[in-house]
Each structure stands twice: as C-alpha cells, then as structure tokens.
Structure 1
Amino acid sequence: MADRVSYANNDGMNYDVDVLIVGAGPTGLALAAQLAGYGTSFRIIDRRQGPSTQSRALAVQPRTLEALRPFGITAEMARGGTPAHQLHLHLPDETVQIGLFDIGIEDSAHQQLLFLPQSETERILLNYLGARGIRVERGAELLGLERLDPEDPFAGMEARVQRQDRGIDRIRARYVVGADGAESTVRRRAGMDFRGSGYADTFVLADLEVDGVAPGAVHAYPTDDGFMVLFPLGNPATWRMISLKERGDKSAVTLEYLQGIADKFSGGGLTLHDPKWISSFRLSHQMAEFFQSGSVFLAGDAAHVHSPVGGQGMNTGIQDALNLGWKLALGARGLAADELIDSYDAERRPVARGIVSFTDRLFKLATSRSALAKLPRTKLLPALAPSLASSERLRARAFRTMSQLGIHYRGSTMTAAGANRLPAVLASGPRPGDRLPDAVVHYQQKERRLQDLVSAPGFHILLTGPGWPEDTPHQLHAALAGLGPLLSVQRLVVGSTLTASGPGIIEDVSGLAFERLGLSARRPEVLVIRPDGYIGYRSNGTDVNGAVAYLERLTGSGARSSLQTA
C-alpha cells in the first residue's frame, strides 16, 4: 500500500484509502502514477500473481506519450520501442509507400507511432511506482462491493477482497475504480450494463521473425479474403503478425498455419520462423452504459472494448485514467465540486463511443467478405491509394485522428470562454476543451517544452501578451489560496535569446507557441490549463475575474482564500 496522507474530508466515514484501484494493467498503473503525484492515498490490487509477460497491446500513440511525460518515462519508452515511419500497402499490382505521422501533428514532441509491448509499458510504470515506494497487491481478487451508506451512492464503498496470503480484506474507499479489463468484476458488482456485440471473426496473432519484408515499416496486405498486417515490434520478436481465420476454421494455430496465411496474402514471398507467442481470440465492440455509478468508476477495457485496428485501445484506457485521476485527487482533498467528479463520464464516454465506432468501421472495411461490402478494400483502395498517399490534407487529418491529438472536450461544462472572447467561428487558436499544443520555448535561459512547463500537478494559468500588472500572479494566488501549490501562474511572452527572463516568464523565441495558440503579441489573453493538459478557460484582456470564477466553480469553495470565505 502507498504510504500517503489522505486529504479527504471523510465526513465520519473513516475511509481506509481515498481510492481503491482494481486492476494493474496500463490503465490502472497510469491512474496510480497520477494519484501518487497528488499525494492521494490509494491501494492498487490485481488478482494476477505477476505483471503481463505478453506483448498484447503494442501501439503507443503520440497523445499517450505526451500524457505520460509528467512521469518522466517517455524517453525510456521511446528507447525501448520501435518507431514506424512508413506504411507499405501491398496491393495486387503495386506497393504504395505512405509516410506515417509525418504531417498533421507538428505541435507535438512525439511525431511517431511507437510500437512497444504491453509488458514493457507495464514494467516501466511499475518501476516508476516502485521508486516511490508503491507496490501492486498481487493475488488479491475483488469479491464484492457495498455502499457505505445505502441511501447515498456517493458516500464511498466497502470492497471485499480475497487475499491468497491472508484471507479476506475489507477496504473502505471514498472512490473505487475498475480498471480490471473486459470481464470487469467491478462493473458487474456495481450493476453497470455492458452493451454491444461480438464479431464473427477470429483473430490470429503472433510475435515472430519474418524474412522477406523491409524493416521499420508497417506492412498491410488487403485482399478479397481479408487482410494481414505486420507491425515492427522489435521485442520479444521483430514482428507482430495479425490476420483472421476463415470462418468455421477450427484448425490449431501453429507456425505452419501462419505460414499458410502469409503465403496467401503475400504471394509466397515471406518466410516465418522463431515464433515467441501465438494466440487466437474473438473480439467484440462493447461499451458500458455509464462510466460512473456513484463512487464507482470504470476505465480502460472495463469501460469499452473494440477492435485493435487503429491501435487505439490501450491509449484510450490510459487517457481515461489521466482524465479521472486528477479529479479524484482533488475530490479527496475537498477541492472538487460534484460536477467536476461527474464530468469524467460526460467527457470520456463520448470519446470512447467515437473510438468504438471508428474502429468498428475500420474493422468492417478490412474484413467484409460480401461482394458489395468488400468493394472499398478490393477495388476503391487500389485505385485511390496513390492519390491518398500524396494528399497532405487527407493524411494530416487521418494522423490527427489516429494519434488522438485531436480529442477534445469542447462541449464539457468543465470548460468555459470569457465573455469577451470572440465566438469560436471567429477566434483563432485552440478553444476551451482543446489540448494545449506544444512548442519549444525558453525558460530561465534554457530550451524547454511548453507542455513540460505546465505539467506539475494542479492548474496552470498562462498570462500572455502585453499589459499585465506586475502583481497579477500575487492577486491570483491570493484569490485562490485554497489551491496552494496546486496553482501556478506564469507569463508567456514573445522573447529573445539575448534577454534574460525573470521568474515565471516563459519566452517564445521562435514564435511557434504564439502561432499554435492563436495568440497576438499585441493582445493580452489568459488561459487556464487543466491538470490533464487541456485548455479549461480562455479569455481576452487582463481581467482575471473570469478565470478565478471558473476555478472556483470546478473546485467548489475549497479554492477560495480565507478572506473570501470569512
């Protein structure tokens, strides 16, 4: 158990921990890492005796690498992973080479699709937690959940946990998060419906060596019979192979069986050998009716499952966790309005719904066998592929979507624009609810990334442009004294490498930060950056009352100074 101090106002409930995390896959581990940064008390349990040893999920998208940067682990992930910069589309009459993530994501430090075995992602997160004295409680299986107050679904839960080493534990938690996969016990015990259906097809997967294929690229082989894809994995084998069985085929999946698939799709030009892992499984596309029920929350595969086509699953789960974690951390400190806690479902369920729908369309495009349904794959794709490959606009849009950099919360009640902000159709730059774009800036005469400078736990206020009174940061800290160290205020100005910046001054030497944010060096603006890296509030001018009111609304009365509440 993490040795952490709880800041919760327990209201007489006598909680053992603020948060109980059930499931220690990438989603649960990412949630634990964020809670640890806030000093939130939690326990993380998993019925498995050890972490995953299989590659399973392997695509790590740019937005996920950004979201994990505050933990200082993305460099290690990049070193251990294999980037893919090209897609080789093997068509019947030609092979079309398409650049991957080479356009449309310039405002990110991570402009590549990274392949890293899930086991490695878990190992890196576990090492991060272990260095902070936090361990996963293994061999601990959730048996049941009960409300601490039958009349109040938000009063917390008591979990019964079967421990292999010492019988049954009872854990009283303010919040319970189910990150325990598609067969989630948390979801079942909380009575949360899981809606959707299964696919008729059976996937085959293998990590193995392949001769006859160019390294460092994704290779896709679409035909009348379906598809085969080779991903550059690197470890534990050079390649991950994915394809489908013929419907009704009951054959065992062996190396010889896989070679037959490769021969069918590649025309006999590939040789498979030295498999490290072979598996087959059926898929479904399902989503929980709600991601929250009182004090119980769902994240990752417990909340949504879908086809692996597009490499979205693990990434969506990790970002579920990082949307939820700061809200629960603030709630444990008494710094979250009820609406902020409830916004997790309102913000993440539409994202998951869109991804389930997007991957379902891709899956059907890749697998349809009827003459009409497979026309886009067998006729249109070969005809249009060269044009699609050369269209920067289409590729930029596709990569923005796949990278998850385009995910936003514009419709959320937890975002707002100042009264003097131009309407969205007229305003330039990202809107409230959009991710904060990144750029290289200068801080204390060193090159830094803008996102890194606003990544510490808490809210970050950026005062941009000219005309700001010198005491504005002091006024903001005084007005929001309840946030304490969870509030930082910085100036973002157009600067020069020849000038020495003062404390709290971020200099945009290249002008890219101002350009990507749609700012003017002649016009002051205020932006509030949420703890998950999204713009929560934006307004023109030097009046900060709107920003203060916005943060008070998110945090309830907890953010106000003692002078205001007296």
Structure 2
Amino acid sequence: MNYDVDVLIVGAGPTGLALAAQLATYGTSFRIIDRRQAPSTQSKALAVQPRTLEALRPFGVSDAMVRRGNAATQLHLHLPEDTVSIGLFDAGVEDSAYQQLLFLPQSDTENILTSYLASRGVRVERGAELLELDRLDPQDPFAGMEARVQRQDRGIDRIRARYVVGADGVGSAVRRRAGMDFRGSGYEDSFVLADLEIDGAEPSAVHAYPTDDGFMVLFPLGSPASWRMISLKDKGDTSETTLSSLQETADKFSGGTLKLRDPHWMSTFRLSHQMAEYFQWGSVFLAGDAAHVHSPIGGQGMNTGIQDALNLGWKLALGARGLASDELIDSYDAERRPVAREIVGFTDRLFKLATTRNGVKKLPRTKLLPALAPVAAASERLRSRAFRTMSQLGIHYRGSDLSETGGNRLPAVLASGPRPGDRLPDAAVTYQEHERRLQDLVSSPGFHVLLTGPGWPEDTPQQFHAALPAVDGLLSVHRLVVGSRLTPGGPGIIQDTSGLAFERLGLSARRPEIIVVRPDGYIGFRSSGTDINGALGYLGRLTGTSEESSLRTA
C-alpha cells in the first residue's frame, strides 16, 4: 500500500500527545489532528501518578511537570469525630524516582508535551475533524485506512494511514466510524467541580470529607487556582453552580471551617463508567477515554490513557518498519483491555462506596471507614499495597503472550524478583563514572538486554547483534554488575554500587541471568544461565525475525 503516513492520531489530549511523543523518538511518520481550534485551558484531569512520570521521563518532560506541579504529601480524612492524617506515597513506591502524587492541570500537561513535540518539528493540526474512515482494502482489515478530514483552513483532506489511533475522548469519532461498541452506563448523581481559592485548608494535602450525605474532596491544585473542589449535589438539585452554592456545600461538609473565594472555573457534570468492547479493529486502535471512561476517584483516568499510548506506540513504530509480528501488534488489546477493565471496576466500586445514600450500602463509609482509617494510617503494609496500586507501579502483563520465562529459570513461586510482564524496578546505579537511574539507561528506543552475574563471554553483545541484524538499531546490550565507585566501568557496563538494583531485581552476584526489557519498560523475557538462545528466540518472535535469528545461531 502507498501510505501518506504510518500513523494517524486523532485527538491531541494527553493520550494522543504521549503517543506522538513516542512515535517521534522512533522516527515514525505520523500526523496528529484535533477538531479543537486551540488547546484546552481548563485544568480537567490533574493527578499524575509515579508510573506516568516514569513512562514520560525518556522524553525529558517529567522533571518539567514536577516543577510546574504541586505534590501532595498527606491525606487528611475529616471524619465526624476526628481527623486522621495518612502519609501519601510514603510506602510502596521506593523503587521509583517519583515518590509523590503530583497535581498538575491537564492544560499544563498538554502544553509540556506539545512543546516537546514542537522541539522535534511536530505540529498538532488543529481545526481538523474526522468525517469518514474507510478500509483501503475492504477484504483486508489490516491493510490500512483512509480518513476523510474536514479542515477549517482548506476543505477536505484525505489521509491514507497504515494505522489509525482514536485518542479523541469519550465521544470518539474514530470509535463511531469503526463501529466499535462502547458499553456501560452513567451514574444517576450530579457533581459540582470548581477550581478556586480556599481559606482554612492546610496546603500540600488532600482533604476528604465523607459523611452520611456523600463526600467532598479538596485537591491542592496550585494553578490556575490553589484548590480543586469536587462534591456530590443533593438529589434533584438542578440549580446553577455559584460561589454561594459552593460555600453552602463546603459548610455542610466542613462545619463552616472553610472560606471559598475567587473561583477560576465552576461546573456541574455527570459521570459514567464505560469501556469499548475491543481496543483494536484491524488497523484501528482506541486509547484513553475513547477506549474507557470511569470515575475520577483514585486519579487513574488520564494516567491509564497515557499508559495505553506508550504500550501501543512502540508496537506501531516497529510495525511501520516491518519489525512487528502479528502477535506483537495484536498484543495491545490483549494487554491493555484487562488493565482498563480492572480500573473501571475498581473505581466503580470506590465511587459507589463514596456516593451511595442507601442506608445499608453507606455503612462502609459511615461506620467502617472511621474505625479502619486509624489502622490504615498506622500500617505501612496496608499503605504500601494501596499506594502500589494507586501509583500504577503494580500494573503488569504477566499473562501476556509477550511475557516469557526461560526454561532454566525456577518456577515463579520459587524465583525471586519481578517476573516477565512486570515493570522494571528503578534504582540509582553508576555508568561511566556518573550516577544514573537504571530506567534511564534502558529508555532509548528499542529493546534492552541486561546480562547480570558472572560468566558472560566478552563477545556476548556482538553475538546478539550478529544474530539479529534487522533489529540492530533497536537493540542495546548491557552488563549489570555489582560494582564499586572506585572501580572504573567499561563500555556498556552498569555498576550497581548500592546493591539496590540487584536486590530489587532478585539477582545474585554469583548467578548469571539475562533480562530482556521491552521498549515500554516492562520485563519481557527472563532466564538463568549464559545461554542466549532463549532471548534471541524471544526477540525474533516479537519482531518477526525468528527464522533469521535461528539460522544465524544454528
């Protein structure tokens, strides 16, 4: 097929921009369009989780997000009889460079990503609305698509793309044009949302007020206003949201201790929990709110969308180079839909607990929460499990066809360290006499192989490159060793001077192992010993070069 671009991205919110950023690092041809004439100026989604900051770090934008954002270190749970303070992300996230819940307006997130793309010569095409989407070959759903786009500046544009990604939100035109079902329902209750100033609320903390009548939560936004307020409206209340009505709501939940002023933005809205039946239809993919939408409780929505994008981007980039097996391309739906389904279900359960007014169903909020909150605050184990989930560091793809364990490795119940499908933990290491982060050293585009422990022949990296010449520019081989700051490291040698990398990976300095890290930072393959054939077979299978690698190692 003669394509205009390899990938057409429809939608320039955080999900579409993150996908564009990843494709740009691979040199993949793409266009990103959005029907809006200008970027949004509203704060919208504001919670940025540690895993998202990790995943965006290769583009050099995460530190800018941290500088512009506002980190919350405490949750103050205002109960009827007492206020319980719980440290946020003070446990369960030790293996990440980002140990904070960051609040950053979505408009700022989009601005930072857009600036990164501009630095790479990429421009978001605005005022461009998708009208039609047709297969280039009606008999072959994988042959690519032709999009008919209404351009406000120059009429109709036809774009032939190998792949089309719908990152265009809950009302996705891509999803509708592709005929993909969006299943679920809306919640009955209405909510008020406002960005404003609040006197009387301790800064740098999230404040939650659960009561018999529902809840109110205050988030330390920082900009464009100091606080984001969200609360449940009274049943049947259809009145306009005003500063006066917001003050009445705050008085009801806080007992009159808060003074609201200077609103930047106020709104009334409804929520739903819905998910697409499939995230892929031939050459068409869905990501972010186009694929799943749910309650904002837990700050999972935007983060899940960005993770969708970064799971998909490298697969499409390899596909555009002819280096992706069908299994690799199809793995997007198989890996991300179960994650989205779990998050939609989890947030739905939390949301109903927080909002129900039913006499029996609200007992966990009104009776159990006051009793259990002090226990949770005092238990590092409980906080660790909760924050591991909330931070998205615990998301894994262990059941994926892309996760493979070498035959000589101990069974999962006996082996130590993360399994194939788990995220690669981070740690400070030394490389070329400078302190670096392990995740940074394996973040350049492509696959990264870590050779650990003793016994590796010096020419092992050369063996990998010779066996997989088609993947050579997308394959890096490193030695990870227990080292000392006083011992100079050679080319390609990563020294674990603190021992934390070996500890977090479950490695031994006396036992050789091989770990293949996928381009999205997850472990794809792991085996013991110095036989590289299993890793070569794995890489060959994913990139469609299995026959080539087997011939060269025969």
- State TM-score, norm by structure 2: 0.99
Residue 502 of structure 1: SS of its match in structure 2? coil
Pick closer, same or farther for the CA change 1:327–1:559 going to 2, 3 Å.
farther
Pick closer, same or farther for the CA change 1:393–1:67 going to 2, 3 Å.
same
What is the CA distance between 1:354 and its match in structure 2?
0.4
Q: Structure 1: how far apart are the matches of 2:118 and 2:192?
A: 35
User: In the comparison of the two structures, how many residue pairs are matched?
Assistant: 554
Residue 184 of structure 2: SS of its match in structure 1? strand
Q: Structure 2: how far apart are the matches of 1:347 and 1:16?
A: 29
Structure-2 residue corresponding to 1:341: 329
Structure-1 residue corresponding to 2:224: 236
Structure-1 residue corresponding to 2:45: 57
Structure-2 residue corresponding to 1:196: 184
Structural mapping, 1:160-559, within 5 Å: 160-557=148-545
Q: Structure 2: how far apart are the matches of 1:554 and 1:371?
A: 53
Once the two structures are superposed, what CA deviation does each residue of 1:399-429 show, in whole Å capped at 9, x if it has no partner? 0000000000000001100000110000000
Q: Structure 1: how far apart are the matches of 2:545 and 2:420?
A: 23
What is the CA distance between 1:248 and its match in structure 2?
1.1
What is the CA distance between 1:75 and its match in structure 2?
0.7
Q: Structure 2: how far apart are the matches of 1:439 and 1:56?
A: 33
Once the two structures are superposed, what CA deviation does each residue of 1:170-229 show, in whole Å capped at 9, x if it has no partner? 100000000000000000000000000000011211000000111110000000000000
Residue 544 of structure 2: SS of its match in structure 1? helix
Residue 510 of structure 2: SS of its match in structure 1? coil
What is the CA distance between 1:244 and its match in structure 2?
1.1
What is the CA distance between 1:562 and its match in structure 2?
11
What is the CA distance between 1:560 and its match in structure 2?
3.7
Q: Structure 1: how far apart are the matches of 2:259 and 2:222?
A: 17
Amino acid corresponding to residue 333 of structure 2 in structure 1: D
Q: Structure 2: how far apart are the matches of 1:265 and 1:91?
A: 10
Q: Structure 2: how far apart are the matches of 1:453 and 1:462?
A: 11
Residue 407 of structure 1: SS of its match in structure 2? coil
Asked whether the 8 Å contact 1:481–1:562 carries over to 2, the reply is no
Decide which of 67, 78, 81 is 2:55's aligned counterpart. Answer: 67
Amino acid corresponding to residue 238 of structure 2 in structure 1: K
Q: Structure 1: how far apart are the matches of 2:550 and 2:320?
A: 20
Residue 347 of structure 1: SS of its match in structure 2? helix
Decide which of 102, 110, 130 is 1:114's aligned counterpart. Answer: 102
What is the CA distance between 1:388 and its match in structure 2?
1.2
More off after superposition, 304-313 vs 475-484: 475-484
Q: Structure 1: how far apart are the matches of 2:260 and 2:548?
A: 64
Structure-2 residue corresponding to 1:124: 112
Asked whether the 8 Å contact 1:334–1:558 carries over to 2, the reply is no
Q: Structure 1: how far apart are the matches of 2:485 and 2:255?
A: 58
Q: Structure 1: how far apart are the matches of 2:394 and 2:371?
A: 29
Asked whether the 8 Å contact 1:335–1:558 carries over to 2, the reply is no
Q: Structure 1: how far apart are the matches of 2:553 and 2:131?
A: 44
1:83 aligns with 2:65: no
Residue 287 of structure 1: SS of its match in structure 2? strand
Asked whether the 8 Å contact 1:482–1:558 carries over to 2, the reply is no
Asked whether the 8 Å contact 1:481–1:559 carries over to 2, the reply is no
Q: Structure 1: how far apart are the matches of 2:461 and 2:288?
A: 38
Asked whether the 8 Å contact 1:178–1:186 carries over to 2, the reply is yes
Pick closer, same or farther for the CA change 1:308–1:362 going to 2, 3 Å.
same
Asked whether the 8 Å contact 2:48–2:303 carries over to 1, the reply is yes
Q: Structure 2: how far apart are the matches of 1:122 and 1:52?
A: 8
More off after superposition, 322-331 vs 241-250: 241-250
Amino acid corresponding to residue 451 of structure 2 in structure 1: L
Runs of 5+ unmatched residues, structure 1: 1-12
Q: Structure 2: how far apart are the matches of 1:495 and 1:166?
A: 61
What is the CA distance between 1:247 and its match in structure 2?
1.7
What is the CA distance between 1:280 and its match in structure 2?
1.2
Q: Structure 2: how far apart are the matches of 1:564 and 1:152?
A: 33
Pick closer, same or farther for the CA change 1:445–1:565 going to 2, 3 Å.
closer
Amino acid corresponding to residue 522 of structure 2 in structure 1: Y
Residue 510 of structure 1: SS of its match in structure 2? coil
Asked whether the 8 Å contact 2:537–2:549 carries over to 1, the reply is no
Once the two structures are superposed, what CA deviation does each residue of 1:446-499 show, in whole Å capped at 9, x if it has no partner? 000000000000000000000100010100111011112200000000000001
Q: Structure 1: how far apart are the matches of 2:235 and 2:541?
A: 55
Q: Structure 1: how far apart are the matches of 2:482 and 2:552?
A: 35
Asked whether the 8 Å contact 1:84–1:113 carries over to 2, the reply is yes
Q: Structure 2: how far apart are the matches of 1:384 and 1:150?
A: 58
What is the CA distance between 1:557 and its match in structure 2?
2.1
Asked whether the 8 Å contact 2:196–2:225 carries over to 1, the reply is yes
Amino acid corresponding to residue 42 of structure 2 in structure 1: Q
Q: Structure 2: how far apart are the matches of 1:381 and 1:129?
A: 45
Q: Structure 2: how far apart are the matches of 1:24 and 1:33?
A: 11
Please provide the CA RMSD for this pair.
1.2
Q: Structure 1: how far apart are the matches of 2:180 and 2:5?
A: 23
What is the CA distance between 1:311 and its match in structure 2?
0.2
Structure-2 residue corresponding to 1:137: 125
Runs of 5+ unmatched residues, structure 2: none
Pick closer, same or farther for the CA change 1:565–1:173 going to 2, 3 Å.
farther
Structure-2 residue corresponding to 1:10: none
What is the CA distance between 1:132 and its match in structure 2?
0.9
Percent identity of paired positions between Structure 1 and Structure 2: 81
Amino acid corresponding to residue 556 of structure 1 in structure 2: G
Asked whether the 8 Å contact 1:228–1:242 carries over to 2, the reply is yes
Decide which of 42, 48, 62 is 2:30's aligned counterpart. Answer: 42
Decide which of 71, 82, 94 is 2:82's aligned counterpart. Answer: 94
Once the two structures are superposed, what CA deviation does each residue of 1:219-257 show, in whole Å capped at 9, x if it has no partner? 000000000000000000000001011121111000001
Q: Structure 1: how far apart are the matches of 2:323 and 2:62?
A: 29
Residue 373 of structure 1: SS of its match in structure 2? coil
